[in-house]
Structure 1
Amino acid sequence: MDSTTYKLYHVHGMDSRSFLDLYFSNKEDMVFAEDFLKFPMEMLHYQFSTGRVDGKFLIDISIGSFIHLLYSASNSIKKIVLLKFQEKCIMELSRWLHDRTGAYDWSHTSSAAAELEGMRGQLQDKEMRLRSSIMQILKCDFEQVNITSPVLLPLADCVISVSILDVISKNEDEYMKNLEKIIKLLKPGGQLLLFSLLDATYWVAGAERFHCFKCNEEFVKNAFVKLGLVIDYCAVQRRRNISDIIDYKAFLFIVGCKGE
């Protein structure tokens, strides 16, 4: 398939449940556990448990409708808002948030979070704490000056973003403009915790193949610096799986602090 025919995540939408099953489930044939479950959970556990990142208000703007990255944050941050581009993702998250029939089963990640914190067996506590921290799930639109219009959010102490810039940016200029919009969600001194696919061009959800902006570690670091973020931390996980449903070579985690 020619790259020009790839779908765009924020334009065409995707099968949100298929996406979770392919990349985040506990199924035997799910090969991405090391990269997309374990690595980000360990990175955020370190940041929040050591006090490197803290605050009272957090915004998450990530691809899909996963929640496992937020367990560590909810231990210290009591107000979390989730921003999504798609109604399907909002519906998926709402089912889990309100513990409704058909909600996605995240027990494999709550048990992993409890183990990271030395709290084995307290799975329900992890999910209950996270649910109580999530204040709103809002739709966002990067074509708007205020991306959450008509809702005006306060500036956040920290923002977590997973692969959104990769899937909504078609080129370097768009990446910089989109990153700038995310940085505007932060208060001065606030921190952006970004996960990014490196050297990826496509990914699959359902029966569709989607565009991914191809970038490397140097590009992301330079983008942070150009837009006034001071890099506090950076780690790269080299790909640990074999699969043709996505073609990334590594998974980047980087933390940047917005200037006062």
Structure 2
Amino acid sequence: MTNSGTTGRMSHCADRYQLFNPRAYLQNNYTSPRANFDREDSVVPWKLRCFAASFSTGEIRGQTLLDIGSGPTLYQVISACDYFTTIIMSDYLEANRQELGKWLRAEPGAFDWSPFIKYVCSLEGKSDQWQAKEQRMRETIKDVCHCDIMKPDPVHPRVLELVDAISTTFCLESVCPDKQSLERALSNITSLLRPGGFLLMIGALGESYYLAGEVKLAVVPIDEDYVKEAVSKSGYRICVFKTYTMPPELKIGVDDVSGVFYLQAQKI
């Protein structure tokens, strides 16, 4: 049973997120210097390499991949579009769902993900095929739906068969008010994944806040040991765990993150 204090913090978190500015978030985290494709040690290329390495094994594939808490970003499913028939994006905020929709409909003013797609194609040795991959992404992403990871069925009222893989980036630690809520949210999203399916997760290490426009949003500070323990307790076998330390020149005043983790885990 959720206690009243936790419920109040969740409500406050939801209210604060209504002030979330997708464009400010994209500017802070998905433009240079954090998305500098000429620097191998920039954080965004590192994240893209993590996903590309997981999918290059050919082990993670199937009918449906569900991306939980997509925010206004699409980079996390670039590699996935070659291995799944259907990708479903999801987010709590309508503003983020609208931002994704703009790109999917190729509307003027949509955020430009082409440098990210080109980088992934270069990793695959297919630099000249980036436009084909971009089109494949638009065809494979079949839906952008509402989700609430605090609910036992996060994508209700949408009805889904158990999915083959779940990806989630910077979601759980950002929207949960405490570790107890984070573990419950992880259990909620795990209920959507078939046994033997894969969880791909990226998250912030040692972060207590970040900025998205005029709003300052609280984050649950977590470390590597905690992440491993929480994921294992939720019924997974961790296959890959990588960490990235944020260099001083990428600490640009939009958060206090110390590093980033990437994990690939299989549901037991």
Task: Give the TM-score taking structure 2 as reference length.
Answer: 0.88
- The aligned residue for residue 34 of structure 2 is 31
> Cα RMSD (Å) of the superposition?
1.8
Q: Does the 8 A contact of 1:31 with 1:242 survive in 2?
A: no
Q: 1:130 aligns with which of 134, 137, 141?
A: 137
- The aligned residue for residue 232 of structure 2 is 225
Matched ranges for 1:23-102 at <5 A: 23-25=29-31, 27=32, 30-31=33-34, 33=36, 34=41, 36-102=43-109
Whether 1:19 and 2:25 are equivalent positions in the alignment is: yes
- The aligned residue for residue 257 of structure 2 is 248
Q: Does the 8 A contact of 1:84 with 1:140 survive in 2?
A: yes
2: distance between equivalents of 1:219 and 1:51?
Answer: 29
1: distance between equivalents of 2:181 and 2:42?
Answer: 26
Q: Does the 8 A contact of 2:69 with 2:92 survive in 1?
A: no
1: distance between equivalents of 2:128 and 2:15?
Answer: 38
1: distance between equivalents of 2:218 and 2:204?
Answer: 12
Whether 1:8 and 2:17 are equivalent positions in the alignment is: no
Q: Does the 8 A contact of 1:229 with 1:257 survive in 2?
A: yes
Deviation at 1:122, TM superposition (A): 2.3
SS at match of 1:80: strand
Task: Give the TM-score taking structure 1 as reference length.
Answer: 0.91
Q: Does the 8 A contact of 2:86 with 2:141 survive in 1?
A: yes
User: Once the two structures are superposed, what CA deviation does each residue of 1:159-206 show, in whole Å capped at 9, x if it has no partner?
Assistant: 000011011111111011011011111001111111110110011111
2: distance between equivalents of 1:97 and 1:36?
Answer: 25
Q: Does the 8 A contact of 2:78 with 2:120 survive in 1?
A: yes
SS at match of 1:121: helix
1: distance between equivalents of 2:42 and 2:66?
Answer: 22
2: distance between equivalents of 1:45 and 1:249?
Answer: 23
Q: Does the 8 A contact of 1:79 with 1:133 survive in 2?
A: yes
- The aligned residue for residue 151 of structure 2 is 144
Whether 1:204 and 2:211 are equivalent positions in the alignment is: yes
1: distance between equivalents of 2:43 and 2:68?
Answer: 16
AA in 1 matched with 2:149: F
- Over 3 Å counting, the alpha-carbon distance change for 1:42 and 1:246 in structure 2 is same
- Over 3 Å counting, the alpha-carbon distance change for 1:227 and 1:144 in structure 2 is closer
SS at match of 1:130: helix
1: distance between equivalents of 2:171 and 2:99?
Answer: 18
- The aligned residue for residue 181 of structure 1 is 188
Q: Does the 8 A contact of 1:9 with 1:211 survive in 2?
A: no
SS at match of 2:145: strand
AA in 2 matched with 1:22: N
Q: Does the 8 A contact of 1:146 with 1:152 survive in 2?
A: no
- Over 3 Å counting, the alpha-carbon distance change for 1:59 and 1:36 in structure 2 is farther
Deviation at 1:11, TM superposition (A): 4.8
Please list every run of at least 4 consecutive aligned residues from structure 1 whose deviation after the TM superposition is greater than 6 angstroms.
none
SS at match of 1:114: helix
- Over 3 Å counting, the alpha-carbon distance change for 1:213 and 1:35 in structure 2 is farther
Q: Give 5+ residue unaligned stretches, structure 1.
A: none
Give the stretch that moved more between structures: 128-137 or 12-21. Answer: 12-21
Aligned pairs, number:
251
